[in-house]
Amino acid sequence: MPVFLMTFILLIAIIRMAMTQMALQDAAAQTARLTAAHMYPIQQVLQSKSGAPSSRSEGQSSESRPASSGLGLLAGELAGNLPEPAGPLLEAALRGDWNAAADIAAAPIGEAVFGPLIRELAAESALDPDRIRVTRLSLPDFSKSGEEYFRVRLAYDFPLALPFTGSHVTLSADAEERVWVADPAPAPTHPEDGDGSDRVVIVSIEPSPLRPGRKAKLTAIGKPNAKLNLEVWYKSGKSKAKNLGEKTADEHGIVTWEWHVSGNTTPGVWELEVTSEDGAKAHSFFIVQKAGSAGE
């Protein structure tokens, strides 16, 4: 009987440890995905501060670069509207705290920006947020081609909970994601303009993934005071949710839509499109997933 009980308890501990390892890996992967998906505004701010062109194309003229002062004002306006970790990262970039392609796990920016996000992701799973440590954290280096990667490593002190012992096992999970950055040579929206000034950019879609029966929010940038139209398609067709459709951007070109995702929405990958009154378009896909479904 003692041997049977010890074997049974050990089996339970192994199963719990495997579940914890899966949850830790998922938290690391979600942190990397969220950071990579919202890196575009930070790239623009860093390039404007350094005087580099907004794309990596050497042939782009200086006249097509956004003014640093104007982009700084726009970034400051965006910082408070972007979801984590994009908003805090943007504020850190404006302060000059960016430390590219280096391990900043112990730096104040690492804890201030990613600590709350990781603890929030851990609280949604079987993890104890107080037991998680960030042991590696590196931000992408936009000045070097091929270094646009975000990397994170999480450690978790898993208590074995075996009789007569208080020992623990340290679990580890790594995640790496190539960040979304500007195209090397973005095509102008209107060939006759040639400067891409009329293009529309989708900044963020939150939460990620969207949940049936809850609110969704999208932020986009177009021309200042221009009219932008948002259309969303699910499996059933074009959404007729309230607050979609046409809205007018503010003086910085920022516009935000908030709408209700129907509780009957079919989970899956769906699409949306933002169109300006000048005909410029921005297209994106998004995920609808029920809470508690597999993969979380």
Give the residue, 81 or 251, on which the prediction is more confident. 251
Q: How many CB atoms lie within 10 A of CB 129?
A: 16
SS3 label, residue 223: coil
Which of 110, 125, 112 has its CA nearest to residue 22? 125
At residue 80, the pLDDT reads: 58
What are the pLDDT digits (tens) for 235-294? 888 888 888 999 998 888 889 999 999 888 888 888 899 998 888 888 888 888 887 654
Which CATH code for domain 201-288? 2.60.40.1930
* Proportion of the chain above pLDDT 90, given as a percent: 7
When the pLDDT of each residue in the chain is averaged and rounded to a whole number, the result is 75
Least confident of 95-104, 205-214, 230-239: 95-104
Match 């950055």 to its residue by tokens.
Answer: 181
Whether pLDDT at 40 is above 80: no
C-alpha 125/C-alpha 292 separation (Å) is 9
At residue 193, the pLDDT reads: 44
At residue 197, the pLDDT reads: 52
Whether pLDDT at 113 is above 80: no
Tokens describing residue 154:
């999480």
Whether pLDDT at 112 is above 60: yes
Do 202 and 174 meet the contact criterion of CB atoms below 8 Å apart? no
pLDDT band of residue 20 (cuts 50, 70, 90) is confident
pLDDT band of residue 187 (cuts 50, 70, 90) is very low
DSSP string, 252-283: TSEEEEEEEPPTTPPPEEEEEEEEETTS-EEE
Phi, psi of 100 (to 5 degrees): -75, 145
What are the pLDDT digits (tens) for 114-171? 777 787 777 777 788 888 888 888 888 776 666 678 888 888 888 876 666 667 788 8
Whether pLDDT at 17 is above 80: yes
At residue 230, the pLDDT reads: 92
Q: In the chain, where does the domain assigned CATH 2.60.40.1930 lie?
A: 201-288
